[in-house]
Amino acid sequence: MVLSSCEAFDNYPPGIPGKLLGALGRIPGGIAALLHLLRFRAVQRAPGGWGWMSKRPIPQEVQRDWFTPGRGDRAVRRDLIRYGRGIPPKPVLRQWAEAMGTFDRPVLVAWAAEDKVMPREHGRRLAELCSQGRLVEVPDSRTLIPEDNPDFFARLLHEFVTDASVPPNSPARR
């Protein structure tokens, strides 16, 4: 299993962007308004929102691919609203995170070294919960690791998958 700078413990919805999504989901037309505002670069790069999730601006065409479906499709907006309204209580979230300790396979926790949305300590805690957990901090990156440092992340995934695909007692490991 690979986890990369993600919601964990009680950080759900994550940071200011997640809390904004949750609040706007309770206001009629709030999600639609947000999706329309996200057409503008200033909103995309605003501190406390998407601007904190990457070190460098996400290319316009990528952001367009992310947000255009929600502007034109009611079903997408409906799902975003359900996401925002379906947040379990904080004790339940912490309980679910702690239950990860029962997972007994290799776990790579790739955490952005400069994350402003997902607390850095959560990466360490997730790795420690799992008996085969390993934390690697991804340099030069915030939450959106595949956008900020794709080459490092791809190498890390390749090494993990290659190593994890060999069973522990296999002759290939001896």
CATH number of the domain that residue 122 is part of: 3.40.50.1820
Q: Please tell me the predicted confidence (pLDDT) of residue 173.
A: 43
Q: What is the pLDDT of residue 139?
A: 97
pLDDT at 168: 56
Query: What is the model's pLDDT at position 162?
Result: 92
Residue with token string 């759900």:
12
Report the pLDDT value the prediction gives residue 165, as an integer from 0 to 100: 65
Output the pLDDT for position 54. 93
Residue-range definition of the domain harbouring residue 23: 15-85
Q: CA 31 to CA 95: how far, in whole Å? A: 29
Residue 166, pLDDT score: 56
- Residue stretches of the chain with pLDDT short of 50: 169-170, 172-174
- Tell me what pLDDT residue 174 has: 42
Please tell me whether residues 106 and 160 are part of one structural domain: yes
Domain tally, the chain: 2
pTM score, whole prediction: 0.83
